[in-house]
Amino acid sequence: MAMANFLFGAAAFVLVMLALGLLSILRGPSDVDRMLSAQLIGTGGVAVLLLLAVVTDMPSIADVALMLALLAPFAAVAFLRDASSSQIKSPNASDRT
């Protein structure tokens, strides 16, 4: 029981750290920094979900963590496509707009 409380506290702590990381969406300064914060949510969210899966004894939450781990890189790739099409074309990305 004490163990469940500890793991729950760890999940809450990581969640607070994620919330603090969201501050960098407000501060920027560049869009890349905002994307980094979204990346932080991806990694940290997986950690929180895995902790909760063990605490609440619901192994299916680990599948939710797997889904989040799958979707986080998609957000980054969408951002990078947008960034690379609005910039000067680099030599190795010339035919991908």
Partner 1 sequence: MTHALDIFTVVAVSAGSFFFMAGTVGLLRFPDTMTRLHALTKVDNLGLGLIVVGLLPRAEGLLGALKLLSVWIFVQLSGAIVSQLIAHVARREGRQT
Name the percent of the chain in helix, strand, coil, to the closest 5: 80, 0, 20
Instruction: Output the CA torsion sign for 63, 64, 65, 66.
Output: positive
Distance of alpha carbon 33 from alpha carbon 22, whole angstroms: 10
Residue 46 found at the interface with partner 1 (CB under 8 A): yes
Is 62 a binding residue for partner 1 by CB under 8 A? The answer is: yes
Q: Measured between alpha carbons, how far apart are the two ends of the chain, in Å?
A: 55
Q: How far is the CB of 95 from partner 1 (least distance, A)?
A: 17
Give the shortest CB-18-to-partner 1 separation in angstroms: 8
Which residues of the shown chain bind partner 1 in the complex (CB under 8 A)?
Answer: 3, 6-7, 10, 13-14, 17-18, 20-21, 23-24, 27, 30, 32-33, 35-37, 39-40, 42-44, 46-47, 50-51, 54, 59, 62-63, 65-66, 69-70, 72-73, 76-77, 80, 83-84, 87-88, 90
